Structure 1
């Protein structure tokens, strides 16, 4: 008899979040995406993803997610180039575990607050972080489970019970999607740089440079334009025809190509409909 070889099942990707609250359009430094999970934490998977995202050693990240605390980014050439990563765990369990990052200025404020009020640095960091958040998000954090009505949630989300942890993220992750306006008016979701690069037929290095620095990138006679708003990338792809219009407009009016592309987009009904849908979706 012939034996039929069963294909080995591919390992399922780690599912980190099932509740997403997007505040990335808010003023910095409070422009975060609150990524929460109602199911039990997959600690190894959670630690691995956050370790890679924030360049924190895996062992250190695992300890932080278990015990709470902060990781201060090391100095380079005697200079601080990063702030800190923190994991806040409520000692009485009244609120879910929360992770966040402070930039250099916030880190300095946290150190000053810790000295002035004789606080532990993690507690000072948590106070500095939460005071900058949008008022709406502050209100939700004051409520159990972000004030979610579990009767209206997807069953798979609701059956997990209370929220176990919240990661306040500003990066671009495969675990939550960003939207790109395509030339035909579609809004396409991508998660992470590799998926974004594949969608547009560019290299991961090109994708990384575009979404981190902003600007434009020509792709097969079309053009990708990325504007950084409050540290968040907003991306649109223009047809060759619209790209030509933008170049002509830039030359005629002495505009920067990004400004010219914006004018072209606002005069294009297809792209404007896509932009309106993007706004309705929360601006991701």
Structure 2
């Protein structure tokens, strides 16, 4: 078991969840406040998406990310900022008779454009989604090709930002390890093992164990699962030597019929880890553990 656990709070994501829960933060002020709430509850890292305030849908606008970062950096909160760089990969295939008639919801840009806000704001951590995958039961494909990934990884390394590699299936992990062999990733690259996202890796403990066994020694990694599996995966991840992730991006409920806040989910994760005999790392301790910029 990992005795010293870093908790990440994934505050909001980009899915259409803000219409399902009043606690999903939407505006930059709400997102920054949610990060501070998570920090007060014990989170060391805030994983952040931004949304359009009027539609509540996911956004790539740099000025929204900038306002969130400015609010956090101006506060007393020292939480580690982890910005998504996964937006811009949504491809909605057209109907069967005309599949190249992509739906208006398509938001597909290249690797460089997905990193514009990372270049502008230099967060301590940003994500890299390590492969293409079918999302849900419609015609949505998340596109992240090997060439896109190589370009994105190289640019993130140039910027001096620590990369968190989002692993949605075993092939994603295989390619992430290939990028390590090619020297495209710094030694402190982090792995996020994502389970329960249709149609990636199912939330099965045996599959988590198999992916963990593929990781290099002394790798910093976290696993999470969606919905009702989120809190059990806090324990599963720590037991196998990893860290923990909770938050409203992945799960809206604290219990059956009970809507959660980000802070409540972090508090529950803290209780799970501490009741197992583990310790919760502060942001300062996490920076040292992860060899983030300025601590290497």
Please indicate the TM-score interval, normalised by the length of the shorter structure: under 0.3
Higher helix content, 1 or 2 = 1
TM-score, scaled relative to structure 2: 0.24
Pair member with larger Rg:
1
